[in-house]
């Protein structure tokens, strides 16, 4: 049983209360708190040895724990406001704590998020859970369900850098660009908010493009055609890996925390410093098809799973 089956079996309930606008199954939960505003709630856990290698710099752990949550907030088109932190550590080393807190507060300050509570415990390895609450105007949250056949599929940034960076880290390249993309992902918070009213659906890429696009398409009851040649690949990824590896990282590498979204028509919001690339089209086939110059390339990848 993988974690998605566990969630379906033990946590999903048939009906949500009327104040639950979007429950289990999206990047964040959306609940109605007043007539004008909805609260968007996201939570993510990072475990040493699972989500980051033992020995990762404490400031990077702190930064990343906030950034991955900001990314879920971004995928909902919400404005992040408040966060809580549940921290488990083996021992209270002052230098480690200072560095961790620096990274955490740096990521939070970039988007004006305040730490308002949490829990601190001792355990046999480092586990960091951050929960962020954000806000959207009523009815404005962007959900995974909403894509229709004919919509264009876009991604922000470049794909595959973080997974390639993790591999570079394991080879001892701590200071290169790709490793940095893994350690300090850029949450597309402003761009996500600018997609409200334009994007028909959105998800953030934590498990890899193919797996996460599959989730968004399943939630929307549609399929997709992806043009492999259009996938945005950074110069750094091209410099260090061959064409097959670039494609593998771009399609199935996790941890990029870019946004993948669909647009029915109309103009994209001004991106300014964010690269935005059209990578394919939504279809009514219920499957994801990868095309290489019009030829179907067999590919199947369901993304990282914590339980098999």
The item of ligand ADP, Mg ion, none sharing an interface with residue 307, based on CB under 5 to 8 Å by kind, is none
Task: Report in angstroms the alpha-carbon separations of 216 from 91, 101, 134, 166, 259.
Answer: 40, 34, 21, 25, 11
**256 makes contact with Mg ion (CB under 5 A):** no
**161 makes contact with Mg ion (CB under 5 A):** no
- Span 181-240, contacts to ligand ADP by CB under 6 A: 206, 215
Residue 38 structure tokens: 């909805």
Give the span between the Cα atoms of 74 and 27, in whole angstroms. 9
Residue 23 structure tokens: 């429950």
Of 151, 204, 207, 256, the residue at the interface with Mg ion (CB under 5 A) is 204
Binding mask 71-90 for ligand ADP (x = CB under 6 A): -x------------------
**25 makes contact with ligand ADP (CB under 6 A):** yes
Angle between helix 94-110 and helix 58-75 axes, rounded to 10 deg: 30
- Interacting stretch for Mg ion, rule CB under 5 A, among 9-17, 23-31, 252-260, 286-294? 23-31
The item of ligand ADP, Mg ion, none sharing an interface with residue 26, based on CB under 5 to 8 Å by kind, is ligand ADP
- Interacting stretch for ligand ADP, rule CB under 6 A, among 18-26, 86-94, 114-122, 263-271? 18-26
- Interacting stretch for ligand ADP, rule CB under 6 A, among 20-28, 59-67, 164-172, 179-187? 20-28
Task: Spell out the residues 6+ positions from residue 120 whose beta carbon is closer than 8 angstroms to its own.
Answer: 86, 87, 88, 89
Segment 233-241 long-range contacts (CB within 8 Å, at least 24 positions apart): 233/158, 233/159, 233/160, 234/158, 234/160, 234/161, 234/177, 234/178, 236/161, 236/164, 236/176, 236/177, 236/178, 237/158, 237/160, 237/161, 237/164, 237/178, 240/164, 240/168, 240/178, 241/164
**11 makes contact with ligand ADP (CB under 6 A):** yes
**26 makes contact with ligand ADP (CB under 6 A):** yes
Of 38, 72, 167, 255, the residue at the interface with Mg ion (CB under 5 A) is 72
C-beta of 215 vs 240, nearer to Mg ion: 215
User: Interface residues with ligand ADP (CB under 6 A)?
Assistant: 7, 11, 24-27, 72, 206, 215
């Amino acid at each position: 049983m993988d974690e998605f089956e566990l969630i379906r079996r033990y946590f999903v309930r048939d009906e949500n209360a009327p104040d639950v606008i979007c429950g289990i199954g999206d990047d964040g939960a959306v609940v109605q708190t007043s007539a004008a505003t909805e609260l968007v709630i996201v939570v993510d856990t990072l475990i040493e040895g699972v989500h980051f290698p033992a020995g990762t710099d404490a400031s990077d752990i702190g930064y990343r724990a906030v950034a991955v949550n900001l990314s879920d907030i971004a995928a909902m088109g919400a404005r992040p406001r408040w966060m809580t932190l549940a921290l488990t550590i083996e021992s209270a080393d002052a230098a480690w704590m200072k560095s961790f807190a620096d990274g955490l507060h740096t990521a939070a300050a970039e988007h004006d998020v305040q730490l308002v509570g949490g829990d601190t415990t001792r355990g046999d390895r480092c586990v960091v859970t951050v929960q962020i609450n954000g806000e959207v105007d009523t009815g404005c949250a962007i959900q995974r369900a909403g894509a229709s056949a004919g919509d264009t599929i876009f991604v922000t940034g470049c794909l595959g850098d973080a997974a390639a960076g993790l591999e570079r880290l394991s080879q001892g390249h701590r200071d290169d660009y790709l490793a940095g993309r893994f350690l300090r992902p850029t949450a597309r918070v402003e761009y996500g908010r600018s997609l409200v009213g334009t994007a028909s659906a959105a998800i953030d890429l934590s498990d890899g493009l193919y797996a996460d696009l599959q989730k968004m398409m399943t939630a929307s009851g549609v399929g997709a055609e992806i043009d492999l040649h259009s996938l945005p690949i950074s110069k750094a990824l091209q410099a260090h890996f061959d064409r097959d590896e670039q494609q593998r990282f771009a399609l199935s590498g996790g941890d990029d925390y870019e946004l993948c979204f669909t647009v029915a028509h109309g103009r994209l919001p001004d991106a300014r410093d964010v690269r935005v690339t059209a990578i394919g089209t939504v279809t009514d086939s219920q499957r994801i098809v990868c095309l290489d110059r019009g030829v179907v390339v067999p590919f199947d990848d369901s993304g990282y799973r914590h339980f098999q």
